[in-house]
Amino acid sequence: MKKEHIVTRKWGDRRKGKTDWARVDALTDEEIAKAVANDPDAAAIDVDWSDAVLVIPAKKRAISIRVDEDVLDFFKKEGDGYQRRINAVLRSYMQQKVKPKKRA
């Protein structure tokens, strides 16, 4: 890492943002609703959460594993989350192996 990219700050120092919070606090509900109605990127938030289910991800264990370079490159070129995709492939393999065998 080049030294010119290192930024040091003291503990507790905060960056000052560019948001004018006094202006935001002064907005009325009507002004906010009008701004949202005129925003082409605003999406309606009309979600029914009554059937939502909390899913807690399984605990992961860090390991070191050796894989062929081309295999790793294949997963990495798909972008972020390549380790999750590798895990999904391994899980699929595991589930196929533990399926009960059909009797003839």
Give 5-36 pLDDT, tens digit per residue.
Answer: 777 777 777 777 889 999 999 999 999 999 98
**DSSP code per residue over 11-62:** TT--PPPS--HHHHHH--HHHHHHHHHT-TT--------TT----PPPPP--
Percent of the chain's residues with pLDDT above 70: 95
- Does residue 80 belong to any structural domain of this protein? yes
Domain count for the chain: 1
- Does residue 100 belong to any structural domain of this protein? yes
- Does residue 29 belong to any structural domain of this protein? no
- Does residue 73 belong to any structural domain of this protein? yes
- Does residue 90 belong to any structural domain of this protein? yes
- pTM listed for this prediction: 0.46
- Does residue 9 belong to any structural domain of this protein? no
Structural domain span for residue 86: 64-104
- Does residue 17 belong to any structural domain of this protein? no
Average pLDDT over residues 80-102: 90
- Does residue 81 belong to any structural domain of this protein? yes
